[in-house]
Amino acid sequence: MEEIRSTIRLRMSQADAHYGGNLVDGARMLALFGDIATELLIRMDGDEGLFLRYDEVEFLAPVFAGDYIEASGWITGTGKTSRTMEFVAKKVIRCLNDPKQPSACDFLEKPVVATRAKGVCVTPLAMQRKKPA
């Protein structure tokens, strides 16, 4: 079976900042993973499916308003209705948040892994519009 992947790249806004120092809530990364999971299920099954659970979540580096995040996910296993997935969110541009240079940012030659997760989604049989070849 061909690997199915999805990637989203976006900038974290001031609205995403939840804590002092413009720190973005870790739940924002999980919301990105949820959007990626939805795309993966649509591509595989022709239906949005349902997120059943996260088996593992690691918050490895802080994310701040102004940072650019590239989040990716892929299907690692399939059952009759279940799809196991892995996700990673990497910081690819870091906003310096320097009051003297408020628009200063750095492109990171080596992206920083901010969040990793594993999870399981399901698409009920009756909702699966695409059948494996």
Nearest to 35 by CA among 1, 71, 82, 77: 71
HSE (CB half, 13 Å, CA atoms) of 60?
14
- Is residue 78 predicted with pLDDT exceeding 80? yes
- Is residue 70 predicted with pLDDT exceeding 80? yes
- Put simply, whether the predicted model's pTM sits higher than 0.95 gets the answer no
- Is residue 132 predicted with pLDDT exceeding 70? no
Please, what are the domains in the chain?
5-127 (3.10.129.10)
- In the chain, how long is the greatest CA-to-CA distance? 58
> What pLDDT sits at residue 6?
96
pLDDT tens per residue, range 11-63: 999 999 989 989 999 999 999 999 999 999 999 999 999 999 999 999 999 99
Nearest to 118 by CA among 33, 2, 48: 33
